[in-house]
């Protein structure tokens, strides 16, 4: 049955590529146009494939598409998780072609979201269609969640689905984020957690010609973030060789002041923190309080605090877990070589799903090394799309099985 499905994908790959192009052509930037139009295009693709779906729109234009393909059983099975939003394209003059007019050059499809991750979403849907068109009856169901908001924290997409008990109780899940490395397909089973720290500084307004009468919140913020940069300590433990080490970046965003000739009364800065198991929100906030207190001991006018506004857990699946084994088997059937597990940076919605069930962190088309994820001239390989569609179809068959013929 595997070969029948892979032959279907090979023969009909043009349809897959056209579906990717249709999705990439839609501006679904977050923040910006958001996901609604891309969700409508995906619904058209699913309708044409004969796959049932529903939509979830908790806020205007914030749409997730939830598709399913039935089976004899109603529990277990497989969940495909991907996202429809993309990051803004940035300076358009830096693109060799319009980011929302996809072009194929030298075997690669260029456009914003081609790798991250409309290529993966299209490959999910095409793999489901290939299984359906091959007339294979599954023992267990297959689900596709093409969600909103992954690029801005996932709170309007996967997190809301979890909070509303809309994640099915499957045997395993995957996020279709890019996990090809210089042309070699791989499995990503770990990712660091992610936390956002908000640093606030308060001062006293005054006329800028009389700075001694005010307290400059921006200047004091500068003292605080330099102190954090110099003295903040993160654990050096390594729980798994493929788990990215914790990192921090302070001052990734900063805003303060309301007018050039007013001493600023308030300033706010953000700190990005990537976490490993064992790190806690309480210990991080305690360390930051200690650093700020030391700054105050030198500059008594400093009035600042640092608090965690978001804390998402790291993900760590073992090499011999069911999800990793099945993921590897599906790739090997598709391309003929045994894949390895690799490390990649960045977080995916797997960090949420793994609180409920095993979910591969990244398992999909797009080259993590040459695909320019979030950069100019983002692209995905045509053959990479085809190979991953085959792997997804194989994964459906491997996890969901085939009913016995009567």
The domain covering 2-189+317-400 belongs, at the CATH homologous superfamily level, to Zn peptidases (3.40.630.10)
Q: Cα separation of 316 and 311, whole Å?
A: 16
> Region 119-148: what's the mean pLDDT?
97
Looking at residue 403, what is its pLDDT?
67
pLDDT band at 404 (very low <50, low <70, confident <90, very high): low
User: What does the mean pLDDT of the chain come to?
Assistant: 95
pLDDT at 401 over 50: yes
Candidates 241, 232, 148, 147; CA nearest to 195 is 232
Q: What pLDDT does 345 receive?
A: 84
Q: Return the residue matching tokens 């297959």.
A: 142
Residue 59, number of CB atoms within 10 A of its CB: 11
Q: Which residue has the tokens 């689905």?
A: 161
Query: Band of the pLDDT at 406, cuts 50, 70, 90?
Result: very low
CA distance 255 to 178: 33
> Do the Cβ atoms of 192 and 316 come closer than 8 Å?
no
Residue written as tokens 């990717």? Answer: 20
pLDDT of residue 346: 83
DSSP tag of 94: G
Structure tokens, 285: 């906030």
Average the pLDDT over 285-311 and give the result: 97
* Alpha-carbon span 52 to 278, nearest angstrom: 42
Residues 6+ apart with CB under 8 A from 136: 1, 4, 5, 397, 402
pLDDT band at residue 236 under the 50/70/90 scheme: confident
Residue 405 has pLDDT above 70, yes or no: no
Confidence of residue 1 (pLDDT cuts 50, 70, 90): confident
What is the model's pTM? Answer: 0.91
Place of tokens 């595997």: 2
- Kindly indicate whether the domain formed by 193-312 is annotated with CATH number 3.40.720.10: no
Percent of the chain surpassing pLDDT 90: 92
**Domain limits of the chain?**
2-189+317-400, 193-312
Distances (CA, A) of 191 to 148, 197, 275, 351, 352: 20, 19, 9, 8, 11
State pLDDT tens for residues 42-59. Answer: 999 999 999 999 999 999
Query: Over 60: is that where the pLDDT of 82 sits?
Result: yes
Q: In this predicted model, what pLDDT tens digit does every residue of 175-194 receive, in sequence order?
A: 999 999 999 999 999 999 99
Write down the pLDDT at residue 4: 95
Radius of gyration of the chain (CA): 24
Read off the pLDDT of residues 215-231 as tens digits, 9 standing for 90 and up: 999 999 999 999 999 99
Query: Quick check: 243 pLDDT over 50?
Result: yes
* Alpha helices by DSSP H, 151-280: 158-163, 217-231
């Amino acid at each position: 049955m595997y070969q029948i499905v892979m032959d279907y994908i090979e023969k009909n790959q043009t349809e897959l590529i056209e579906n990717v192009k249709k999705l990439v052509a839609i501006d679904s930037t977050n923040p910006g146009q958001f996901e609604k139009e891309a969700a409508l295009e995906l619904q058209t693709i699913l309708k044409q494939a004969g796959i049932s779906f529903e939509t979830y729109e908790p806020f205007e234009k914030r749409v997730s598409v939830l598709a399913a393909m039935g089976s004899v059983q109603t529990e277990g099975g497989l969940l495909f998780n991907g996202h429809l939003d993309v990051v803004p394209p940035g300076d358009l003059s830096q693109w060799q072609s319009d980011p929302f007019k996809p072009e194929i050059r030298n075997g690669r499809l260029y456009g914003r979201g081609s790798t991250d991750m409309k290529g993966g979403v299209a490959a999910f849907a095409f793999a489901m269609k290939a299984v359906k068109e091959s007339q294979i009856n599954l023992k267990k169901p297959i689900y596709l969640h093409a969600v909103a908001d992954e690029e801005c924290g996932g709170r309007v997409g996967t997190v809301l689905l979890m909070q509303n008990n809309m994640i099915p109780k499957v045997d395993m899940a995957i996020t279709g984020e890019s996990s090809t490395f210089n042309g070699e397909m791989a499995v990503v089973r770990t990712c660091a957690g992610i936390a956002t720290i908000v640093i606030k500084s308060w001062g006293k307004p005054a006329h800028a010609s009389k700075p001694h009468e005010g307290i400059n919140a921006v200047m004091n913020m500068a003292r605080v973030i330099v102190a954090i940069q110099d003295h903040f300590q993160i654990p050096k433990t390594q729980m798994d060789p493929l788990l990215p080490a914790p990192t921090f970046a302070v001052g990734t965003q900063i805003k303060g002041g309301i007018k050039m000739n007013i001493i600023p009364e308030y300033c706010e800065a953000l700190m990005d923190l990537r976490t490993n198991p064992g790190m806690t929100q309480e210990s991080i906030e305690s360390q930051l309080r200690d650093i700020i207190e030391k700054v105050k001991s030198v500059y008594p006018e400093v009035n600042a605090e640092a608090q965690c506004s978001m804390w998402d857990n790291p993900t760590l699946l073992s090499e011999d877990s069911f999800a990793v084994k099945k993921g590897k088997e599906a790739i090997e059937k598709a391309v003929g070589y045994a894949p390895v597990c690799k490390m990649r940076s960045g977080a995916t919605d797997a960090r949420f799903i793994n609180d409920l069930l095993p979910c591969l962190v990244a398992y999909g088309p797009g080259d993590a090394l040459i695909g320019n994820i979030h950069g100019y001239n983002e692209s995905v390989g045509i053959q990479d799309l085809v190979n991953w569609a085959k792997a997804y179809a194989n994964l459906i068959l491997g996890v969901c099985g085939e009913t016995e013929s009567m």
